[in-house]
Amino acid sequence: MPEMQQIFAGIAWNDGGWIELAATLIRAVIIVLPVILLMAVYTWMERRQASFMQDRIGPTRANIAIAGKNITLFGLLHLMADGLKFVFKEDIVPSKANKLLFFLAPILALAPVVIVFVVIPVGGFFAYSHWDQVLTADQVKAYAMTGDAFRLQASQLEIGVLVIFAFSGLGVFGASLAGYGSHNKWALIGGLRAAAQMVSYEVTLGLTVVGALLLYGTLEPMAIANWQGHNIARWGIVVQPIGAILFLAAAIAESKRIPFDIPEGESEIIGYNLEYSGMRWGIFFMGEYMELVFVGAMFATIFLGGFHVPLLHADGFRLGSHHLAMPHIAVVLVQMLAFWGKVVLLGFLQIAIRWTLPRMRYDQLMRLGWIGMLPVSLANVMVTAILLLVFTSYNWNMGNYWIASLLVTLLVYLLVVAPQQTKTDEDNVAHDEAHSHGSH
């Protein structure tokens, strides 16, 4: 207690200490709380969407009896039922397991995904002293410089994207240590399979954003979102469509979801978490769904303009000469809702992909990563860099980003995708001929 009193006594409350504390609490609420809620809601969305696509009822068993009626809340009560099950279910530790590694593996699978949200912006600047006024962009910047506005971002790092990839790459240790520490040969094989897949697709995942970063000229997430702004023509999905598609595919493979769920296929493959039960298995489960939120947040920040909304400026919506003035607090709330709305839609897309596509074979998965996606991502970076150099060297207008985007897409297709498709067709024909001769 004396130590805590000294800490609080050292804060100059009259000189902004209360403001810093309030800003920290606000950041925690608008960043951590939605992540936790979405992680839980995604489990419900997965079940409900699966039931709709498979013509089933879905989760309706968990209920509360009120006045003789069973209240199910459309299956939302299953979230509480699952949480109670994880907490009270028996936690079994194999007798020959490495206790330290067995304990650390779930933490290493979940913690890196939580840490990366520190640098992801969910909004711009909030000028708390002028929240009820109509502010221009220049006024918001001025208040930010004088300390009358704070970022809706937990931490500003100039190398924020590198920090995100550095921490997200630590997830491979959770999978591999879970298999090794369990002292089970089948879990060990599952861990090795998971590590090989995650390392393979991390290379492509990193390269897919390089082309976009060449255009943005920064690694700071909020600066990336501000570069795209409210103009859809500048959003990453428009200026780097190949990078956006490859990033989403590689991110799904990195999070080990169908059609890339080879490491933990429920029906026929033994995964790295074979020996886990109770809350330890629940932490792996939480990590998977938090990765859904992470993929959506990263994609929204890099390729969908982040928290920006089309036509929404700092002082309200503008379309030509029409202007809908909005107070500053309303603009900030719309930006935050837009960001988390994009994350939810991307999560919905990932869940739809899971219940639409079949699982790939392991050789198909590795071939897609190293022979398919990696060359295309490299070609995308090279063509983007060359066109950017040509445009800047000759002082050509870079405002028509969609023209440059079409050139990049066309050149990458002609240089890499078309030759690969031709070779694949030839291999399939040769395989069919060999099979037909063998049958005769």
**104 part of a folded domain:** yes
Other C-beta atoms closer than 10 Å to the C-beta of 428 total 10
**292 part of a folded domain:** yes
> For position 333, what pLDDT does the model report?
93
Q: CA-to-CA distance for 393 and 413, rounded, in angstroms?
A: 25
**243 part of a folded domain:** yes
**29 part of a folded domain:** no
> For position 94, what pLDDT does the model report?
87
> For position 398, what pLDDT does the model report?
58
Q: CA-to-CA distance for 326 and 346, rounded, in angstroms?
A: 28
> For position 436, what pLDDT does the model report?
57
Task: Say how many domains are in the chain.
Answer: 1
**9 part of a folded domain:** no
**26 part of a folded domain:** no
The pTM of the full predicted model, rounded to 2 decimals, is: 0.85
Assign residue 257 a region: left if phi > 0, alpha if psi is -120 to 50, beta otherwise? beta
The string over 11-31, giving b where at least 16 C-beta atoms fall within 10 Å of a residue's C-beta and e elsewhere, is eeeeeeeeeeeebeeebeebb
Q: Which domain holds residue 419?
A: 95-430
> For position 14, what pLDDT does the model report?
46
C-alpha dist (Å) from residue 54 to 35, 46, 79, 346: 28, 12, 21, 21
> For position 364, what pLDDT does the model report?
84
Mean pLDDT of each 10-residue bin along the chain, 440 residues long: 47 56 79 85 84 81 79 80 84 86 89 88 86 84 84 86 87 86 86 85 88 89 91 88 90 82 67 84 86 91 92 87 88 93 91 84 84 85 83 66 71 71 56 54
CB contact set of 39 (below 8 Å; sequence gap of 6+): 286, 289, 290, 292, 293
**42 part of a folded domain:** no
Other C-beta atoms closer than 10 Å to the C-beta of 41 total 17
Q: Please check whether residue 318 is in contact with residue 251, taking contact to mean a CB–CB distance below 8 angstroms.
A: no
